[in-house]
Amino acid sequence: MKRLDNRIAVVTGGTRGIGRAISLALAESGAKVFALYARSRKSAEALEKEASEKGLSITTFRGDLTHEVSFNQLAGVIHEACDHIDILVHSAASGVHRKAMELSDKQLKWTFEINFFAVHRLTLELIGKMSRGSRIIGITSPGGTHVIPSYAAVGSTKGAMESLFRHYAFELAPQGIMVNLVCPGLVMTDAAKALPELDRLLQMTQEYTPSGKLTSPEDVAEVVRFLASDAGAQIVGQTIVIDGGKALLA
């Protein structure tokens, strides 16, 4: 794997779950990582401690990207800390787990605000710091194209995000900024543990996954690290699925 020395990475949701693994993987390859988070200071401190012990450059910034004042404050901190940005990873996600017919406008709008509008707002804010050779990578979900029980709100945002990223890829590739998505299968993070019918989903995933194992946060991070490297320079507008082959089966 090619190194990422002297590159600056911003990772949303970068202190927990998949985002945490991505922050560590990029830093291990030599990148200077700024990991953004909204809630758990405890998780951020644990990541900073691990990074310090390993001699890695990871700095955490706290802010809620869905609120204007907080967004502007966080954007200001990022601008001050980074004279340029080489890698932008959109890993943060949340939302309401309800059936489609049980969703209120408020719940759907809130989920879109987190998983879609905040993504676009931050990309617009930071794109001026990105130049030829930069990467934008989004973490999506099988729920963007398939039905997962009680996942209507989050799945809708992921489907919208995938469409938006295809347009990003088309518009930014001529500038040498490559945009792609990574779509993991079921990954056992704290967010996944909140899914309704989790036990049934786990059983189905294990039964129908040809590789015989669940995808880990580290599996996802390795693909992100590859896309962020020079080796990913000619991969444009793709959604790379990491699910042990589960999507092969009807």
- The residue from 32, 151, 168, 246 that is catalytic is 151
- Enter the tokens of residue 26: 């990029």
Residue 92, SS3 per DSSP: coil
Beta bridge partners of 9: 33, 87
Q: Which entry of 32, 158, 168, 246 is annotated as an active-site residue?
A: 158
Which neighbouring-strand residues pair with 8? 32
* Catalytic (active site) residue 158: yes
Report the C-alpha gap between 207 and 193 in whole angstroms: 19
Q: In what order do the strands lie in the sheet with 239-242?
A: 58-62, 32-37, 8-12, 87-90, 135-139, 178-184, 239-242
Distance of CA 205 to the CA centre of its chain: 21
Please tell me the distance from the alpha carbon of residue 13 to that of residue 53, in angstroms, as a whole number.
Answer: 21
Question: How distant is the alpha carbon of residue 107 from its chain centre?
Answer: 21
| Residues designated as active site | 151, 158
